[in-house]
Amino acid sequence: MGILFFQEEEMPDVEIDIDDLLDAANEEERALKLQETLVDCYKPTEEFIKELLTRIRGMRKLSPPQKKSI
């Protein structure tokens, strides 16, 4: 009996801009943006997209930090 070694395919680096998703008009548009971003991923992305959309539901876009007055 031998040992088999499999090289994992390298996952592409993917950045997801949450603010961009929050700017989308609705959840369908968010899902489309995510699908476009994840198009090069070789693993199924449907479950990831559903989970991410669930987590960002109700979030608001962060405004840039304001300087504190002294």
pTM of the predicted protein model: 0.65
Quote the pLDDT of residue 5. Answer: 47
Alpha carbon distance 29, 39 (integer Å): 15
Please report which confidence band the pLDDT of residue 64 belongs to, taking 50, 70 and 90 as the band edges.
low
DSSP structure string for the chain: ------PPPPPPP----HHHHHHSSSHHHHHHHHHHHTTT-SS--HHHHHHHHHHHTT--PPPPPPPPP-
Domain boundary assignment for the chain: 26-56
The model's pLDDT over 2-61, given as tens digits with 9 standing for 90+, comes to 454 444 556 567 888 988 999 999 999 999 999 999 988 888 899 999 999 998 887 776
The count of C-alpha atoms lying within 13 angstroms of the C-alpha of 49, restricted to the half-sphere facing its C-beta, is: 19
